[in-house]
Chains A and B, each alone.
Chain A
Amino acid sequence: MAITKSDIEHLCGLSKLNLDDDEIPIYLQQMTDILEMIEQLQSADTDEIIPMAHPLDMHQRLREDKVIDTNDRDIYQKNSLSAEEGFYKVPKVIE
């Protein structure tokens, strides 16, 4: 599966990354190499094999529906450069 420049641009769009024009050819070459390496997987015989999502055969533990009240908003918002009046701010979104 050959990866193209427009693939890279599409992937950057999905993952919100920017690449400079001069970076793109480098990434393109590196991605091509990586994908070639990954392609080795196709030769594995996985008929009838169940995908392994977790190393251990366990099930989800359920948590009691109890509220643990911690309103530490002001402490948390110290890490944000765009908080005002308790809100987080982002560039205007038009719906």
Chain B
Amino acid sequence: MERFTVKAIQNMLSDKQINAAELFDLYSSRITDYDQSFNAFITSDVEPNVEYITDDKNQESLSDAALTGIPYAAKDIFCTQGIRTTCGSKMLENFIPPYDATVIKNLKQQGAVLLGKTNMDEFAMGSSNETSYFGSVHNPWDRERTPGGSSGGSAAAVAAGLAPIALGTDTGGSIRQPAAFTGITGLKPTYGRCSRYGMVAFASSLDQAGILALSAEDTAIFLESMAGFDPLDSTSVEESVPQYSQYLEENIKGKIIGLPKEFFDGSLASPYEALVAESIDSYKKLGIVFKEISLPNIGYSVPTYYVVAPAECSSNLARYDGVRFGYHSKNIEDLDEFYRTNRQIGFGEEVKRRIITGTYVLSAGYYDAYYLKAQKVRQLINQDFERAFESVDIILGPTTQTSAFKLGEKVDDPVSMYMNDIYTISSNLAGLPAISHPIGFVQGLPYGLQLIAPHFKEHDLLNLTHQYQKVTDWHQMMPKLSMSSESNN
């Protein structure tokens, strides 16, 4: 089986080697045949959500739309009109949104067609896709391992060739870490670049919609259509959307990449350290200049995040009470009991844990010491980045400490699970765009490198990654798949 990039598909469509309907069927069948091994999808037996697929005449009118015929998968956190949207939770098991998220609408307008909704950690809370009500996702490289989270389903789907590209969300690393664990490219854009309207909120000041793809080129193609100002989102930015694909071939010679000494403190095990060193070499050969920098407060990222994100989520998830939508227990006569039971049954453990943590840090007597303090430390981290970007164009570091860990390994130790995000969280706190791309394998498992850019410099990230991907082939390596009927359970 072959994995087709979006770029390749565009060529195939324009060469008329295949048409949109056939392409849709091709991927739908792959999902049917292979997904049982991975559980990457929660909902996949969807009708195409664009008209032209069943109506040939319309294909003409959409021929100048940027993404006509391109199938994609979307993390089940994006509201899709008429198509179940669960957020990986029992609470929304049967929820059918009456509207499309803005990014979904944008993609629809450009002709892209939805293949299905991918599995995810419940309400985006998790780093291993093990908290989903719909079961864990299995890493296509090693089914006993996690694909990462919370966009685990999107990552597994793209890595396994079940979708050419997929949407994810990244609040603390939830696109980049799964991309690194599954050997694909994952981009978290600048906060405010893509609309959050219709993207179920976890931590409002950190969440951002992004892309999991096979290459920087594919990412650029999709980002052009996805991004942009949305009047329905107060935090959406009125910055014009560049034609990202036109920046892929810009000259990168002489660009300066900063290496934060806090990221290179020797705590990475040697095989991973070696891969990072090799990728730095590759970039050097492309003409990049490296410089040591310091982000002195970066060590506070994880505690800061685990105050801010739970605080915001504890409030964002208060609307799930079973009245207007969501899980609803019958025959309860007391209002308090009604709310509590709905939420006890509807929510999983990690969600409850974060709600309790969030409620705690906001509560009377603790607000100053925790929430307010965390927002101040957040400012310190932001200032560190601002200072660093005065002398460098891009910052580089590992995406994760290791490659994918085994399923079940960290479920009982939340703090250990949280430490997974140690390299990725700071860019969410500062709202910076960041990308992860594959740089090799350790014992057969993919490993990724992270690049962080100043606000709205996604084109630099894509440019650099594309140039790296022209001289390496890590991103083209595909896991061996077996049909669901062949795999042992």
Which of A's residues lie within 8 Å of B, judged by CB? 1, 3, 7-8, 11-12, 14-19, 27, 30-31, 33-35, 37-42, 44, 46, 49-56, 58, 60-61, 63, 72, 75-76, 78-82, 88-93
Contacts and interface: CB of A to CB of B under 8 A. Distances in A.
Contacts, number: 170
A18 B343 contact: yes
A25 to B, nearest CB: 13
Interface of B is mostly: helix
A16 B339 contact: yes
A95 to B, nearest CB: 11
Interface stretch (B153-161, B173-181, B328-336): B328-336
B396 interface: no
B306 A19 contact: no
Contact of B380 (A31, A34, A46): A46
A80 B418 CA distance: 35
A27 B415 contact: no
A29 B369 CA distance: 21
A54 B415 CA distance: 26
Nearest to B455: A56
19 contacts: A1-B366, A11-B360, A12-B340, A16-B318, A33-B413, A37-B302, A38-B370, A39-B303, A52-B375, A52-B379, A54-B431, A56-B237, A61-B234, A75-B98, A76-B324, A80-B324, A88-B324, A90-B323, A91-B334
Contacts of B413: 33
Contacts of A35: 357, 360
B347 interface: yes
Interface stretch (B20-28, B135-143, B285-293, B348-356): B348-356
B205 A55 contact: yes
A17 B344 contact: yes
Given A8-B356, A16-B336, A27-B356, A41 B377 contact: yes
B373 A41 contact: yes
A38 B237 contact: no
Nearest to B335: A91
Contacts of A16: 318, 321, 336, 339-340, 343
Contact of A55 (B95, B300, B382, B418): B382
A33 B417 CA distance: 12
Given A56-B431, A61-B234, A17 B352 contact: yes
B118 interface: no
B234 A41 contact: no
